[in-house]
Amino acid sequence: MIGEIIKEITSELPSGTRLVAVSKFHPCEAIIEAWQAGQKLFGENRPQELEKKMKELPEELLKDVSFHFLGHLQTNKLKMVLPYVSMVQSIDTVHLLDEVNKWCLKNGKVMDVLLEMHIGAEETKQGFYEEEILDVMFNADKYRGVRICGLMGMASHTDDEEAVAADFQRIKNHFDYIKDTFPENKDFKELSIGMSEDYKIALNYGATFIRVGSKIFGPRVY
Ligand SMILES: *Cc1c(COP(=O)(O)O)cnc(C)c1O
């Protein structure tokens, strides 16, 4: 079942778009099943859960797949996350960016990161605003421990497809603006938009990553 859904989703993706299978709240068996169906990229959003899974998953799987971190990350939990992931998609403050950079310099790593942009209607949702992203990008060269690879965003949680499309249009516009403003920055090329309910819309707005959880793994059981 998990494998069939993954194949169905990936068969619809343009060549520049990758599926992040979001395995949060699902047990290791679900990750193993997805891997056996060919899935190589997973997303987790809680440090404790990620760390626990890293200890439980078979070594053979861990050598063959990558994990991205997608959730809110407190700076006192970096060591539970950064050793295990190839990308942090949810950098939402300059403080967090600075701390990830410092941790990587100390530990001899360079981490790929995305800046989370605030696009949805929900007032509590974290993320940078357009001007803040521009400010960060003016200083991108000073970070030696991170590569800023693009933007991540979550659209408004609504059935209104036009509202969702407008959110994606906004982040796509800013993504293009940053690329045009810093043409020498070759790292900045990823746009992570679209989840179970709205990834088909996100494909119309240049998603390079879609992050799909419940559509693949079902309701959360972990
Ligand atoms: C949980 C989560 C997803 C996946 O959500 P679904 O609606 O289950 O597909 C995507 N992105 C982030 C940041 C998440 O936390």
CATH number, domain 2-217? 3.20.20.10
**How far away, in angstroms, is 115 Cα from ligand 1 center?**
16
> What residue's CA is closest to ligand 1, atom 14?
70
Ligand 1 atom nearest to 211, measured from its CA: 10
Domain spans of the chain, in order of start:
2-217
**How far away, in angstroms, is 139 Cα from ligand 1 center?**
29
pLDDT at 125: 66
Model confidence pTM above 0.85:
yes
Give the DSSP letter of residue 187: S
pLDDT at 122: 74
**How far away, in angstroms, is 66 Cα from ligand 1 center?**
17
* Average pLDDT along the chain, 222 residues, taken 10 residues at a time: 97 97 97 98 98 98 98 97 98 98 98 96 81 97 97 95 97 98 97 97 98 93 62
pLDDT at 221: 67
How many C-beta neighbours within 10 Å does residue 194 have? 27
Ligand 1 atom nearest to 20, measured from its CA: 10
The CA distances from residue 162 to 167, 195, 196, in Å, are 9, 16, 17
Ligand 1 atom nearest to 215, measured from its CA: 9
**Ligand 1 proximity of 3 Cβ (cutoff 6 Å):** no
The CA distances from residue 17 to 105, 124, 170, 191, in Å, are 30, 29, 19, 9
Give the DSSP letter of residue 204: G
